[in-house]
Structure 1
């Protein structure tokens, strides 16, 4: 039973943090190659902390972010005002929002925090979530996105040229829409 939980956790980790998983694979390949070429098992012994770090640190960060999301989501469900995407403008900066729409895209990069694109009949918007998309939610599903309106600078992401930004959502949590 314990190994099934560990395998499912590692599988979820590989899916939600592909860059960390690829780094782990590269480290394992170089370690195996180095041990094979040098016939020195000390290389394997010395690489164990790095291998454990590449495995456990992203899992721990992902779990901490999920816990934060789980704690904050009920508060956001109670106080967030529902918006259509076209209603989210520069004037709604820092407002708590709820958006009901279709999950168009999920992008996992180097962070355990995915970027998603949500669309409704009025437009599309990107959201950086603080934790991975919950199990059971996939591309094409109708979702409720809760979060805060933030700046998305054109060309440079979080830093950029003043007045060249569009709204995005800093997502606290996602759940399936009823």
Structure 2
């Protein structure tokens, strides 16, 4: 498989924006490698670091592309077979159900992985969703979107683990598209 397929400066900038932790790791490791090479006066040190720098660049990029491909493959199945709900209808009884939500993209949080967390709101409430792929480039904060995914548990204190019975519903988002 060719890793360079579809790789452009625009794609790299988009990837850097959607994976801030990977970008920060790459920058820190590169600066550290250059500093260590200068301090040691040994150019071989930097040459040894090149595979790590390439790995910090290419592995998150490849994972992001794989997640986008997975989302693109699953999204048509969800569009055809998912019932639309209001956010207030997403209750604890809906855990593991496929859902479609239409609302305004209220907040976008990029963390450690290429999978952002978003907050979606409609006239009935707000809900958080963890997406499996970065947000499509044509979608911005404030846009009306359709979110397809599965209802999951979000524990109040620790996110994915916590005290039993202290959780609220959230969505594991398969895909996000603009609503027209």
TM-score interval for Structure 1 and Structure 2 normalised by the shorter chain? over 0.9
Show structure 1 runs of 4+ deviating over 2 A. Answer: none
Q: Using the TM superposition, give the Cα deviation of residue 10 of structure 1 relative to its aligned residue in structure 2, in angstroms.
A: 1.4
Structure 2 alignment gaps of length 5 or more = none
TM-score, length-scaled by structure 2: 0.95
- Report the equivalent of 2:104: 102
- Report the equivalent of 1:152: 154
- Report the equivalent of 1:172: 174
- Report the equivalent of 2:129: 127
* Matched residue SS, 2:171: strand
* Matched residue SS, 1:70: helix
Q: Using the TM superposition, give the Cα deviation of residue 6 of structure 1 relative to its aligned residue in structure 2, in angstroms.
A: 2.6
Q: Using the TM superposition, give the Cα deviation of residue 5 of structure 1 relative to its aligned residue in structure 2, in angstroms.
A: 4.3
- Cα distance in 2 for partners of 1:28, 1:81 equals 48
In the TM superposition, 1:19-34 aligns within 5 A as: 19-34=21-36
In the TM superposition, 1:55-94 aligns within 5 A as: 55-94=57-96
Moved more, 136-145 or 36-45: 36-45
TM-score, length-scaled by structure 1: 0.96
- Cα distance in 2 for partners of 1:50, 1:147 equals 35
Specify whether residues 5 and 56 from structure 1 end up closer, same or farther in structure 2 by C-alpha distance, changes over 3 A only: closer
1:75-117 deviation line (CA, Å, top 9, x unaligned): 0001111000000000011110000000001111000100000
1:100-156 deviation line (CA, Å, top 9, x unaligned): 000001111000100000000000000000000001100000000000000001111
Two-structure CA RMSD over aligned residues (Å): 1.2
- Report the equivalent of 1:113: 115
